[in-house]
Amino acid sequence: MVVKPKQSADPVQEQKATEQPKTLGRLVLVTGDKGGTGKSVMARILLDIYRHRNINCIAYECDQSNPQLYRHYNKVQPGVQTLKLNQRGGADALQDDLKRLSPQVSLVDLPAGAAEYFESVAKDIFLFQNAQRLGYRITMVSVLGRVKDSLLQLKRLVDFCGDKVDYVVVKNLYWGDEHKFTRYNNSKIKQAVEALGATELLLPELYDDIFDLVDSKDLTFREALEHDDFSLSNQSRVFGWIDAVETEFSKAAIQLGLE
């Protein structure tokens, strides 16, 4: 019996396989339209979860006019770095740190209405190409209000990014229950992001008085659980809110780097 020698694999396919970068983690960019949609609240609770779970995350504050992420979380090691996207080279550290430090997650709180900023920055530093080369998948987190500008910002991002990123669309329930987002629910942009595999999340509402106290004291959300200025009832409400957020965000665990 003659045994034929095993044929070698296609060298072209072998080369392509070796060229595929190992997936190291996620670059999560949080966006929204004008201030007040809840964009920075989304970034804050995400960082709160990353830090609580000891996920290796580098966080960046880009909103110079309202630096909530920096104000509340810079005290939690390893802190929050600042980026000035409106300056030439202001975003270089974002991808340089990916190569130098290889974090599991890089979280970026973009300025309000940052679609135009993001386009110019992404082109300037070849963000899509470099993220892929370093093994990072980009997630665009778009926090919606109920106004037209929310849809315009999201459409601009989708038109620019296409299928090069993953999308997480967040309805901030501070503005009403999910069915009241009729402008988005009946829009073509909803159909477009769903066709691109977007995950839709709900951001639960936190009572105004509790949120205002957290804000006035510059606290992290988990610090409120033990702070003397919070009654036991309000501490319980914060705990319930965090728990509800974590349960909801588990629907996009891969896209948000929570696995």
Q: What pLDDT, on the 0 to 100 scale, is given for residue 50?
A: 98
Q: Which residues of 171-207 are buried (b: 16+ CB within 10 A; e: fewer)?
A: bbbbbeeeeebebbeebebbebbeeeebbbbbbbbbe
SS3 27: strand
The 10 Å Cβ neighbour count of residue 110 is: 25
CA dihedral for 63, 176, 160, 126, sign (positive or negative): positive
Per-residue pLDDT of the chain (259 residues; tens, 9 = 90+): 444 444 444 544 444 444 444 567 999 999 987 666 889 999 999 999 999 999 999 999 998 888 999 999 999 999 999 998 877 888 899 999 999 999 999 999 998 777 777 888 899 999 999 999 999 999 999 999 877 888 888 999 999 999 999 999 999 999 889 999 999 999 999 999 999 999 999 999 999 999 999 999 999 999 999 999 999 999 999 999 999 999 999 999 999 999 8
Q: What pLDDT, on the 0 to 100 scale, is given for residue 17?
A: 42
What span, in angstroms and rounded, lies between the C-alpha atoms of 51 and 38? 20
Q: What pLDDT, on the 0 to 100 scale, is given for residue 35?
A: 64
What span, in angstroms and rounded, lies between the C-alpha atoms of 46 and 256? 8
Q: What pLDDT, on the 0 to 100 scale, is given for residue 121?
A: 87
Q: What pLDDT, on the 0 to 100 scale, is given for residue 200?
A: 97
SS3 104: coil
Domains and CATH numbers, the chain: 23-252 (3.40.50.300)
